Amino acid sequence: MQKIIAQIAAEIRVAAHQVQAAVDLLDGGATVPFIARYRKEATGGLDDIELRELEARLSYLRELEDRRATVLKSIDEQGKLTDALRAQIAAAPTKQELEDLYLPFKQKRRTKGQIAREAGIEPLADRLFADPTLDPAVEARAFLRPPEVLDDGRPGADFSTVPAVLDGVRDILSERWAEDAALVQSLREWLWVEGLLASRRVDGKDENAPEVAKFRDYFDYDEPIGRVPSHRALAVFRGRALEILEARLVLPVEPEPGKPSIAEGKIALHLGWSHAGRPADDLIRKCVAWTWRVKLSMSTERDLFARLREEAEKVAIKVFADNLRDLLLAAPAGARTVMGLDPGIRTGVKVAVVDSTGKLVETATVYPHEPRRDWDGALATLGRLCMKHGVNLIAIGNGTASRETDKLAADLIKLLGKQAAAPINTAVAAIEKIVVSEAGASVYSASEYASQEMPDVDVSLRGATSIARRLQDPLAELVKIDPKSIGVGQYQHDVNQGELARTLDAVVEDCVNAVGVDLNTASAPLLSRVSGLSGSVAKAVVRWREANGAFASRQDLLKVTGLGAKTFEQSAGFLRIRGGANPLDMTGVHPETYPVVERIIEQTGRPVAELMGRAEMLKTLKPELFADGKFGVITVRDILCELEKPGRDPRPDFKVARFNEGVEDIKDLKEGMVLEGTVSNVAQFGAFVDLGVHQDGLVHVSQLSHKFVNDAREVVKTGDIVKVKVMEVDVGRGRIGLTMKLDAAPARRDGPRDNRFEGAGRGAGRWQGGGPAVGGSAMADAFAKLQGLRK
């Protein structure tokens, strides 16, 4: 365990005692949010990101140690464990390298090399390799033996001829070399740097078919495998899985016919052998070639493809996690009355109005689109609902008919604005509309929780309710939905689903606990994300609340069945009670530290209610005066900060992007236009921006800033409102090229418009727009976001 502690400490660049403290807390049942927020003293201030990395590495390294013990035991039982091998196994830093060392000793099916060894040919193989001056044909005669006949009468191994014996030599040597861990690892690392990932369209596939055309950029593509970006790797793997693309690992220089490849040369160099024209050299050369072509080329390709997929998945999962975090921590509109519109054509637009507390107050269905085309009737119904309930915001789902429904909302706002002379609700006069992602709304609508929450409401109307509530409090509403259904990922269905679920669940947990939860209003799904609260305990909290009324204090939690002292310790600090008996219960101050606050009260002579919010006075207090053996200076500083801004929400203020009048469709966009939009999704290669034209535009990473940007999230995040300039519009392909460098020139007209997203050999395709040239494959993949590849 000390070895693991030291390794993790080195990897995340912290002291070993910090890692040890964190491991002890995790093993004791503490959650990451609790440790990050309330055990800074013990861990030396490790934050939630460091702790998540620590937790993941701890799990991996423990599994590695368990496997190491299993391997050692297996080899020892075979009587083949030497001191040197034991040392190599003990030093193996990864599961892959451990398995490389174990490969020669792993129980496997009977191979040709094993059959040859059983026939006694191994001494000949050793002799010829050790002394290539020997004549293989002459030496092989001593190893001839009659053909073997098995017990059931079938023919067995046949080493009755010289060629058969020499084939046995080849099988023995190639198998031995292919199981040489050092050789395998050196070839693997060399090819990771120098090898190429190549893909071609499968013969017979119609390149104009919609499902095939999505992969056009990979019909004739190759790129150094170690530098393939995540999105391109996953696109190639998806194309291969759909049998649209062939993918293979290609050597940096293909050998001439009859000549040895670079890989074979590296094997020979590793073995310390070179062809010198000696009698056995031709045989050894054939053994080397066999080692690469038959034994190692396919397995190395498989290993490197697995490595590429693993690294690509890590990036894709991180993109999803980062975007999900930004979405969950998006600015809440707060206590405002919202009308949710779930667009539809023939089935109508579903309407749900929720009051400032999120309670559903009225629903309706209007039919402004085909086939009824009751535009005026829809406006009348929506206007009546706005007037009746004092609607402040209109939330429009971004699904089918979203563009048309957005125009309906715009006409509604204009209509209400014209009624200024009439006595209308002032809130209606200030009404705003915003298009929101409806991803996951249908999943929520059909969920068991939605049916319990709104048992008498039609499934389709539940979706409109969810869309409305997303504006009021994105975090509280989105936690009701499986994170994978929220739809801010990159190739999310192509990655390891277990790892994706674990990562996204951790993000949701971190976000919920960073914001805090109102104990007396939170739903069971929201409570279940609080540190220490399981789904069953969260339901028990809600049942207790329904039976006994609002919680008066955090201590009342201990009255809930199934909620013991440990759960209370982990959860209490993240639960808020507004207007309760103790003002501290509405803050992030943990109940275990209330005695520290009492010392502050005693020192200042002021009750806690007068201390809270008095930043100028609290800043004059010295944390050292209130620290003790249990709670040190770091904890006291956190308490004072919390008292300065009690119950503060870390999320930003709510703002709505102002879409330009008359810009409602991609056809309305002109090059050079400067527009305001909302960042809808972020990947490493760029950011997608919603301009209100129902087709997101792309700001490539090269167009985010005048300085070099490696990852788009260095500049923007999901939900940001940004100003962009239109660089190019391709109506036919539904592509909008944008820049945040507002002084940039529009795209150059130096080639056919439809050829601006080319993807020829080694990723040489280029976007022909203004600014630095960027990979055409990346651009094309980026624009596939709403066109199927990301679904």
- Residue 151: pLDDT band (50, 70, 90) is confident
Cα gap 89→49, rounded to integer Å:
31
Query: Is 745 a residue whose pLDDT tops 80?
Result: no
In this model, does residue 526 exceed pLDDT 90? Answer: yes
What residues pair up with 149 in beta bridges, in sequence order?
A: 155
User: Model confidence over 638-679: pLDDT tens digits?
Assistant: 999 999 988 788 888 888 777 777 777 788 899 999 998 888
Mean pLDDT confidence for 209-215: 89
Buried b (16+ CB within 10 A) or exposed e, 213-247: ebbbbbbebbbbbbebbbbbbbbbbbbbeeebbeb
- Residue 784's pLDDT is what? 46
- Counting residues of the chain whose pLDDT is more than 70, the rounded percentage is 92
Q: Which long-range contacts link 763-771 to residues 24+ away (Cβ below 8 Å)?
A: 763/221, 763/222, 763/223, 763/232, 765/217, 767/700, 767/737, 769/703, 769/727, 769/728, 769/737, 769/739, 770/727, 770/739, 770/744, 770/745, 770/746, 771/702, 771/703, 771/727, 771/739, 771/741, 771/744
pTM over 0.95: no
Which whole number is the average pLDDT over 332-352?
93
User: What local confidence, expressed as pLDDT, does residue 666 receive?
Assistant: 86
pLDDT greater than 90 at residue 496: no
Residue 764 has a pLDDT of 30
Predicted confidence (pLDDT) per residue in 108-142, tens digit: 788 999 999 999 999 999 999 999 999 999 999 99
**Dihedral Cα 679, 682, 686, 692, nearest 10 deg:** -30
pLDDT of residue 773: 33
Query: Which residues of the chain are in CATH 3.30.420.140 domains?
Result: 338-472
The band of 789, judged by pLDDT with boundaries at 50, 70 and 90, is very low
Residue range 33-45, pLDDT digits in tens: 999 999 999 999 9
Which CATH number fits the domain 338-472, given the four candidates 3.40.1350.10, 3.30.450.20, 3.30.420.140, 3.30.499.10? 3.30.420.140
Residue 462: C-alpha distances to residues 323, 351, 408, 450 (Å)? 25, 9, 21, 7
What pLDDT, on the 0 to 100 scale, is given for residue 729? 92
Position 785 pLDDT exceeds 70: no
**Is the pLDDT at 377 greater than 70, yes or no?**
yes
Spatial separation of the C-alpha atoms in residues 587 and 596, rounded to whole Å: 14
pLDDT band at 228 (very low <50, low <70, confident <90, very high): very high
What is the DSSP code string of 265-290?
A: HHHHHHHT----S-TTHHHHHHHHHH
Phi-psi region of 198 (alpha: psi -120 to 50; beta: other; left: phi over 0): beta
pLDDT interval class at 408 (50, 70, 90): very high
Burial of residue 467 (number of CB atoms within 10 Å: 0-12, 13-18, 19+): buried
Residue 776 has pLDDT above 80, yes or no: no
Tokens 């098995």 locate to 150
> What one-letter code names the amino acid at 141?
R
Please state which CATH number belongs to domain 496-587.
1.10.150.310
pLDDT score at 755: 30
CATH 1.10.10.650 segments of the chain: 2-105
User: Which alpha helices (H) appear in 516-660, and where do they start and end?
Assistant: 524-527, 535-548, 565-571, 594-604, 608-611, 615-618, 633-644
Region 404-427: mean pLDDT is: 73
CATH 1.10.150.310 domain residues, the chain: 496-587, 589-646
Give pLDDT, residue 768. 28
**% residues pLDDT > 90 (the chain):** 63
When mean pLDDT is compared across 73-82, 231-240, 675-684, 744-753, the lowest value belongs to 744-753
- The burial class, CB within 10 Å (0-12 / 13-18 / 19+), for 565 is exposed
Q: In a 3-state reduction of DSSP, which class is residue 201?
A: strand
Local confidence band at 473 (pLDDT 50, 70, 90 cut-offs): very high
End-to-end CA distance of the chain: 43
Q: Span 417-434, mean pLDDT? A: 63
Task: Say yes or no to pLDDT of 767 above 50.
Answer: no
The whole-number pLDDT of residue 25 equals: 96
Is the C-alpha dihedral spanning 34, 35, 36, 39 positive or negative?
Answer: positive
pLDDT of 310 over the 90 cut: yes
Helices (H), 372-496: 375-389, 402-418, 426-429, 441-445, 448-453, 459-472, 474-478
Enumerate the β-bridge partners of residue 687. Answer: 682, 699
Report the chain's mean pLDDT, rounded to a whole number.
Answer: 87
Say whether pLDDT at 576 is over 80.
yes
Q: Examine the pLDDT at 429 and tell me if it is beyond 70.
A: no
What percentage of the chain's residues is helix, strand, coil (to nearest 5)? 50, 10, 35
pLDDT for residue 411 is more than 80: yes
CATH superfamily of 112-195+251-315: Tex N-terminal region-like (1.10.3500.10)
What pLDDT is recorded for position 747?
60
Mean pLDDT of 772-790: 40
* Ranges 520-534, 586-600, 708-722: which has the least confidence: 708-722
Instruction: Please report, as a single letter, which amino acid is at residue 376.
Output: D
The residues with which 686 forms a beta bridge, in sequence order, are 683, 700
> For the structural domain made of 666-786, what CATH number should be given?
2.40.50.140
With a CB cutoff of 8 Å and minimum separation 6, the contacts of 228 are 197, 236, 308, 312
Q: Where are the alpha helices (DSSP H) in 605-645?
A: 608-611, 615-618, 633-644
CA–CA separation, 702 vs 704, rounded Å? 6
Sorted by sequence, the CB contacts under 8 Å of residue 712 that are 6+ apart come out as 682, 683, 684, 685, 686, 687, 699, 701, 704
Q: Which of 354, 164, 191 is nearest to 264 (CA)?
A: 191
CATH 2.40.50.140 positions along the chain are 666-786
| Per-residue pLDDT, 490 | 67
* Residue-wise burial string across 625-660, b where 16 or more C-beta atoms lie within 10 A, e elsewhere: ebbeeebeebbbebbbebbbebbebebeebeebebb
Q: What is the pLDDT of residues 247-303, one digit of tens each?
A: 999 988 877 777 888 999 999 999 999 999 999 999 999 999 999 999 999 999 999
Q: Is the peptide bond before 371 cis (omega within 30 degrees of 0)?
A: yes
Sign of the alpha-carbon dihedral angle for 709, 715, 716, 721: negative
Per-residue pLDDT band for 423 (boundaries 50, 70, 90) equals: low
Class of domain 2-105: mainly alpha
Q: Is the pLDDT of residue 765 over 60?
A: no
CA angle in degrees (0–180, nearest 5) for 693-694-695: 95
| CATH superfamily name and code, 589-646 | Tex RuvX-like domain-like (1.10.150.310)
Give pLDDT, residue 265: 94
